[in-house]
């Protein structure tokens, strides 16, 4: 049976395990995106909030890139299936700008410095 005293003893242990899980996940994020972090702040220690913010930024950029690639593929498929197989200058500009922006993002997926109040 549960007793209040047992619950009081168990609560700090549960909280410690929860913090360990959080810290472990943050360290995994840091190691997965390590090279990007080093580009931003090579000499400073990143705080947990920095790691989370940079991860959010990285994931948002990946989402944008993914959406642009889908748009590019759809546009290309539409051009292939259309009766007019010739690319117009507008089509070419759209395709090339999407490809170039995608390449640029791949080279620098995280380009925001961590927020520091000081």
Mind giving me the DSSP string for 53-103? HHHHHHHHHHHHHHHHHHHHHHHHHHHHHSS--SPPHHHHHHHHHHHHHHH
> Does residue 100 sit within a domain?
yes
> Does residue 97 sit within a domain?
yes
Backbone angles phi, psi at 75, to 5 degrees: -60, -45
Chain position carrying tokens 């200058």: 89
- For residue range 79-106, what is the model confidence (pLDDT) as tens digits? 767 655 565 666 666 666 666 665 555 5
The pLDDT-based confidence of 7 (bands split at 50, 70, 90) is confident
pLDDT at residue 109, rounded to an integer: 46
> Does residue 117 sit within a domain?
no
DSSP structure class, residue 33 = T
- For residue range 8-63, what is the model confidence (pLDDT) as tens digits? 788 999 999 999 999 999 999 988 887 766 676 666 678 899 889 989 998 999 99
Residues 6+ apart with CB under 8 A from 39: 108, 110
Number of independent structural domains in the chain: 1
Q: Which domain holds residue 52?
A: 33-107
Backbone angles phi, psi at 30, to 5 degrees: -60, -40
pTM of the model: 0.58
CA 9/CA 26 separation, integer angstroms: 27
- For residue range 63-84, what is the model confidence (pLDDT) as tens digits? 998 998 888 888 777 776 765 5
């Amino acid at each position: 049976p549960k007793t209040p005293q047992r619950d009081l003893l168990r609560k700090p242990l549960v909280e410690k395990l929860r913090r360990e899980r959080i810290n472990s996940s943050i360290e995994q994020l840091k190691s997965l995106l390590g090279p990007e972090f080093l580009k931003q702040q090579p000499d400073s220690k990143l705080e947990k909030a920095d790691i989370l913010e940079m991860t959010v930024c990285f994931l948002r950029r990946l989402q944008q890139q993914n959406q642009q690639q889908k748009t590019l593929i759809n546009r290309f498929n539409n051009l292939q299936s259309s009766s007019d197989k010739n690319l117009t200058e507008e089509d070419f500009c759209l395709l090339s700008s999407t490809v170039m922006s995608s390449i640029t993002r791949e080279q620098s997926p995280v380009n925001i410095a961590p927020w520091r109040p000081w």
